[in-house]
Structure 1
Amino acid sequence: MLAVGAVLVGFAKTAIGGVAAISVALFATALPARESSGALLPMLIVGDLLAVRAYRRHADWSVLWRLFPSVAVGILVGVVFVARVDDTVMRRTIGALLLAVVSVHLWQRRRRGRRAEQGRAEEGRTDEKRPAEQRVGGGGPLLAFGYGLLAGFTTMVANAGGAVMALYLLAAGFPMLRFLGTGAWFFLIVNVFKVPFSVGLGLITVDSLSLNALLLPALAVGAFIGRASVHRLNQKRFERLVLGFTAASALNLLR
């Protein structure tokens, strides 16, 4: 189960980010929730390095700088939360938050679609290059703060921030390569920032690092598969897969 989770980490970092939420669920099933968080973090960092190498030129740094302050606050809140709650509360809290974010994203996407249709009807023309719901932006400051706070909290508590970040980038209308490049740099920086806190909380240990060493080949296989398949996905299918995997993983965490 851990090997499958490692393959999915590599695939998520180089293809469909939402798949990483399944890795969170698999690790949490095979190990106690606290131990699974520490065992998964170094794997994610290795995956982040591979993703940055592949997509580093596609990052949108203006969006990243907008997110980092609220993410740091979310991580600090997550540190306090991890120190105070048990495994069951950790899992169910993350699952509930992810489902809420997916629901809000689908609602916002439906509203944008309706507005776009109304606008085209009024103007008597269509935008053939890109649907209105796909236009790139970063959202307003409040949206960025909310997603950044939630991403920081969920990534500290259960390494599930990838799903939150994926939903934010989808809501902002990022095309696939910019989505991957921005997410790669974001999580490399954030996950490295989390390491001292995870060590201090006893989540990363010598035993967990030994387990990581055994799982690295599986991660490399997943990264290779993701890199080879990403260009075969169209934007709509990409978005559906991200949302579907995120929702499925959230439901699993609620059990």
Structure 2
Amino acid sequence: MELSQTSWLLAILAALAVGMSKGGLSMIGATAVPIMALSMSPVVAAGIMLPIYVVSDIGGLIAFRRSFDRRVLATMVPGALAGIGLGWATAHIVSDAIVMLIVGLIGLAFALNALIRRGGGTARAPRFGAGSFWGMISGYTSFVSHSGAPPYQVYAQPLQLSSTAYAGTTTVFFAIVNAVKLIPYAALGQLSVDNLRISAVLIVPAVLGVWLGLKLLRIIPQKLFYKLITLALLAVSLRLIWSSVATLAG
């Protein structure tokens, strides 16, 4: 598959965003597939980006190997694995546009609530029931379009982890999810030779993005950090809603 200059530019921007998300600016990564979908099929974009996520995860895991919350992972990972399995089982039934619409609406509702409410409220403790539910939604939507971040944030942000622990827990969670996704993606033919060749080129901007994300994370205050990821969630959610509605209407 040959990409146009515009497609390559968008793909490089998407890879940079993925790398930055693994460097701690987690919500930015959710923009990758929507960015690439401006010039190609979301299914193709998802197949190209998965190896980029996996490679970027390695850098993120090294950077945050001591900064993550095991309790959060224990409550979310089992549900996420179930969500991936559900996505694989229904891959030929549910359209990408419908899933993107659901993700966008969830993210929009949460972002607006976070921006409108006063104060941060009392921090919640990790709970297996809630973690399993949102983990399953995150695993499912991540399988379909790498858009698992909004459901993840609905559960994780009210826990009020430190910015570093939040970034590290997010990185480890999605590293597990992305590694598991390689199996069904390969089985569904989304890791074709052509896609992998494009992915290989995009590894360079992705690695650069990890470094840039780490630099920005260290200089951004915690309150501003949460404000930025909430605004990023709002922007991504609106973009997902717009794209899905346009697809369904067309």
TM-score range (shorter-chain normalised) is 0.7 to 0.9
Contact 2:33 2:146 in 1 (8 A): yes
Specify whether residues 249 and 108 from structure 1 end up closer, same or farther in structure 2 by C-alpha distance, changes over 3 A only: closer
Q: Give the paired residue count.
A: 233
Contact 1:39 1:209 in 2 (8 A): yes
How do 1:130-141 and structure 2 match up within 5 A?
Answer: 132-133=121-122, 135=123, 137-138=125-126, 140-141=127-128
State the 4+ residue runs in structure 1 displaced beyond 6 angstroms.
108-112
Aligned equivalents of 1:199, 1:143: Cα separation in 2 = 30
Instruction: Work out which of the residue numbers 94, 99, 104 in structure 2 matches 1:93.
Output: 99
Identical pairs, percent: 25
Instruction: Point out the structure with max Rg over C-alpha.
Output: 1
Between 204-213 and 162-171, the greater mean CA deviation after superposition: 162-171
Higher RCO by CA contacts (8 Å cutoff, separation 6 or greater): 1
Cα offset for 1:180?
A: 1.3
**Counterpart for residue 198 of structure 1:** 185
Aligned equivalents of 1:141, 1:251: Cα separation in 2 = 29
**Counterpart for residue 226 of structure 1:** 213
**Counterpart for residue 120 of structure 1:** none
Query: Residue 26 of structure 1 aligns to which amino acid in structure 2?
Result: I
Structure 1: stretches of 5+ with no match in the other structure: 114-130
Instruction: Work out which of the residue numbers 76, 83, 88 in structure 2 matches 1:74.
Output: 83
Instruction: Work out which of the residue numbers 235, 241, 249 in structure 2 matches 1:248.
Output: 235
Between 26-35 and 39-48, the greater mean CA deviation after superposition: 26-35
Instruction: Work out which of the residue numbers 30, 48, 64 in structure 2 matches 1:39.
Output: 48
RMSD in angstroms over aligned alpha carbons? Answer: 2.1
Q: Residues 7-66 of structure 1, C-alpha deviation per residue, up to 9 Å, x if partnerless?
A: 111111112111111112112223211111111111111111111110110111122111
TM-score in terms of structure 2 length: 0.85
Cα offset for 1:250?
A: 2.2
Contact 1:13 1:223 in 2 (8 A): yes
Contact 1:71 1:151 in 2 (8 A): yes
Cα offset for 1:203?
A: 1.3
Cα offset for 1:104?
A: 3.8
Aligned equivalents of 2:52, 2:68: Cα separation in 1 = 22
Q: Does 1:9 align with 2:9?
A: no
Query: Residue 40 of structure 1 aligns to which amino acid in structure 2?
Result: M
Contact 2:34 2:42 in 1 (8 A): no
Contact 2:108 2:237 in 1 (8 A): no
Secondary structure of the residue aligned to 2:161 is coil
Contact 2:110 2:154 in 1 (8 A): no
Secondary structure of the residue aligned to 1:84 is coil
Structure with greater helix percent: 1
Query: Residue 101 of structure 2 aligns to which amino acid in structure 1?
Result: G
TM-score in terms of structure 1 length: 0.84
